[in-house]
A and B are shown apart, each in its own frame.
Chain A
Amino acid sequence: MRASAGGEAAGGGGGSLISRVAHVKNALLIFIFKLENEYERLTWPSVLDNFALLSSQLNTINKLLKNEKTPSFRNQVIIPLLLKLTEQRVPVFSHEIVPDYLRTKPDPEVEEQEKQLSVEAARIGPEVAQKQIQTLNKLCSNLLEKLNNPRDDRDSETAAIRQSKPSFNPADTNALVGAVALWEGAL
């Protein structure tokens, strides 16, 4: 959806808005292509990278819109005008697509869930919330540190644990293999 109506009203500022939106569109195209065609090879970190890219682009658009020099677009409606502008993705501007494309608020169920979450957040109080955030941060940084720094003393302590709790019994191995191959020892 090109913000062409807003672009004209804003004059020079609209040009960069158009280019930012074009970037988002390209990023989305690439991401969708990847999802549809290369999904077997796709790893979660690369999916997260794509999401991060999209979110940063949306952020810049937001900043641009919040800029004081940008005239307010609230009094203008963005209408995806048919084939030419939307590259054939919107064939007819009909009643089916209006709720999706001109949406300003989330679905009622989602709004309900968001309200519950904010009530929950208000209930536990800011100090408790702060403490929970700090504990989570500490846990994450501990885990990251353990994963990133292979320490030599860690190997020795795992060796000690291993000796006290063996996870397999070689005699059992031989017994089972013998049983499968020759049915000896199972009689």
Chain B
Amino acid sequence: MEAPPVTSMPVTGGAVNMMEYLLQGSVLDQALESLLHRLRGLSDNMDPETFTDHELVYLLKGQQGNPFILRARRSLSHPTSPWHLRYLGQPEVGDKSRHALVRNCVDVAASHSLPEFLNEMGFRMDHEFTANGHIFRKGVMKIVVSKLSRILVPGNTDNTERLSLSYLVELSVLAPAGQDTVSEDMRSFAEQLKPLVHLEKIDPSKQRH
């Protein structure tokens, strides 16, 4: 069977094309408390929310160069919640003045048979990791402070090892395509977190060493 053309955009079936605007940074363990305090003050008034997620990244290797990547995520703290499947496109190469990384984003919820389904479809799990940390919201902006851990034994989420001594901080907004005021708001929010964290747009494809 021919592999599906992986370079075409995913079919959205008439729904609005959502883009994810993203700014990332990190914070060392010893500065985590101060960052959490500052975020508690800056974000909307809500109870502090922690999360523990297990993410599996599936690849579909086509005949062309880049494989098709899907990310499946489930909550370890709420085991009965549905799985969350996400597709993230390539970052949009727009004008350099745009302050955040913008990429196409498709999110769907899925049942607990998602891993088997993806395997049957031809996807293979490339790697998995766990993320646990805190999540804050301010209006449409979502701020996630998470500690990433690598899973040592495939399938065993208890046996993990931290990837780094820092926490990853992500500021993201899901908005329909074309709204550029979003990145301005994100930038002014990121200003308020300096000098604790420097949130910036980091293009992962430029990171290859």
- Which A residues are within 8 Å of any B CB, using their own CB? 162, 165-170, 172-186
Number of interface residues of B (CB under 8 A): 30
Minimum C-beta distance from A25 to chain B (A): 31
Residues of A within 8 A of B40 (CB): none
Residues of B within 8 A of A172 (CB): 26, 28, 164-166
Inter-chain contact B31/A167, CB cutoff 8 Å? yes
How distant is the Cα of A71 from the Cα of B198 in the complex, in angstroms? 70
Minimum C-beta distance from A11 to chain B (A): 52
Say yes or no: A177-B166 contact (C-beta < 8 A), given A167-B31, A167-B197, A168-B196: no
How distant is the Cα of A183 from the Cα of B26 in the complex, in angstroms? 17
**Which 9 A-B residue pairings sit nearest by Cβ, starting from the closest?**
A181-B204, A167-B31, A172-B166, A173-B26, A176-B168, A183-B127, A178-B207, A177-B202, A172-B26
Inter-chain contact B126/A168, CB cutoff 8 Å? no
B195, CB-defined interface residue at 8 Å: yes
Inter-chain contact A183/B202, CB cutoff 8 Å? no
B76, CB-defined interface residue at 8 Å: no
How distant is the Cα of A92 from the Cα of B203 in the complex, in angstroms? 72
Q: A176-B26, A179-B129, A181-B204 are in contact. List 13 more A-B contacts (CB 8 A).
A: A166-B28, A167-B27, A167-B28, A168-B25, A168-B166, A172-B26, A173-B202, A176-B168, A179-B148, A180-B148, A180-B204, A181-B205, A184-B207
How distant is the Cα of A32 from the Cα of B34 in the complex, in angstroms? 37
Residues of A within 8 A of B27 (CB): 167-168
